[in-house]
Amino acid sequence: MGTPGIESKTAAERLEEKIRARTARSGIIGLGYVGLPLGVEFAKAGFPVVGIDIGEWKVERINAGNSYVLDVPTAVLGPLVKSGKISATSDFAAIADLDTVNICVPTPLRKTKDPDMSYIDAACRDLAKYIHPGMLIILESTTYPGTTDEFVLPMLEKSGLRVGRDFFLCFSPERVDPGNPKFQTLNIPKVVGGITAECTRIGSLFYSQALEKVVPVSSTRVAEMVKLLENTFRMINIGLVNEMALMCDRMGINVWEVIDAAATKPFGFMPFYPGPGLGGHCIPIDPFYLSWKTRQAGIEARFIELAGYINGQMPHFVVDKVQNALNDCTKPLRGSHVHIMGVAYKRDIDDLRESPALDVIHLLMRRGARVTYSDPFIPRITVDGIDLAAEPAEKAAAADCVVIVTDHASFDYKRLVAEAKMIVDTRNALKGFSSPKIVRL
């Protein structure tokens, strides 16, 4: 005979008890830059965590207590694995024993700039096989407004379970900024919106056990749009300042000085900075989820398309600067040795996704340059089928032109200015240096 009264408790009440007691068995599907840090935070909060990933090498590394994500030190992951708080598997049958599941899989764009939903689709199909009453399911993968209720929910309801009563479904946008020393998974406010008010309440309760601040919103669509607004805002403002850089270049004005002076205004202005192009897993991609969705509604997202075009032209502008700098030294670009400093998409991380350095290298090779590179975080890259291995930064002195694409803190810029023959600086890394050999964006 069971405990008196336990049969009368709702699925929400039973799940809430487990969450508050931190005994809820928590699963993370997708153990990349988003999933692994999230799983670690819940494990640190006392929850038993199981990570699920199709990458066997990730599973092996985690179970050995060895992190492959810069924001998760091995010194933090190792003890959690050893204590049994976190483990990993490639077997989706583990879902059958879980109380909560966070979906943190990639959501790339196809070449036609429409959403590639294959990873979310595969995760939800596996999830639907093992869904059971009393589960909380949260999608974190960035996607278009309507994904959770139009795409995910119907797949899960085929089980016969009813959302808001038997299981609980939310969307909570990931806001990870890899390599940011100040804001990480723990202290970045967590937006969460559920299919029903009860879904939102349970999802908010879950996150509040491990993260510092939770921001509930009224629906999954609001939560989905939040992420797209954040990154569209950044993409458009970067596009604006990149266009400003193009204009300043034509007029012989130092765009970096203009931005610094404008930033002294204490209201009404937020500084953004130009660069060689957009990179990473969010800003170059997320706004196009929104433009794709709005096209379905007959609305043209003109700001997004224009900013995307301008940002996409920046690698071409950088290569033109290199070619012009070499011409001023009576050297053609074809046959010249160009050395790239930094190929990760931003400073001090090991992430190559959508990096503008790859476009710059491709364009240089297409114009006949011999290209080498240095990057302490990226040991090898492949561009146009050609494998390149990172070289010591000291080798830059031998090149006809050096291009600073990613301004890693470990680079010795003073030595670079002293030894390099010509430098094209796309990041203002050489601010404060004055030399005729420096060409600024």
Which of these is catalytic: 104, 170, 248, 282? Answer: 282
Q: How far apart are CA 246 and CA 276, in angstroms?
A: 12
Helices (H), 329-398: 356-366
Measure CA 236 to chain center: 17
Task: Report whether 375 contacts 408 (CB < 8 A).
Answer: yes
Residue 95's alpha-carbon distances to 27, 132, 174, 209, 227, in angstroms, are 7, 9, 21, 21, 27
Which DSSP letter does residue 163 get? B
Rounded Cα gap, residues 259 and 267, in angstroms: 14
The 10 Å Cβ neighbour count of residue 106 is 17
Using alpha carbons, list the distances in angstroms from residue 393 to 318, 341, 413, 422.
20, 7, 10, 15
CB contact at 8 A, 226 and 255: no
Compute the distance between CA of residue 392 and CA of residue 9 in angstroms, rounded to an integer. 64
CA distances from 241 to 151, 231, 246, 258, 379 (A): 36, 15, 9, 11, 31
Residue 199 among the catalytic residues: no
- Indicate which residues carry an active-site annotation: 282
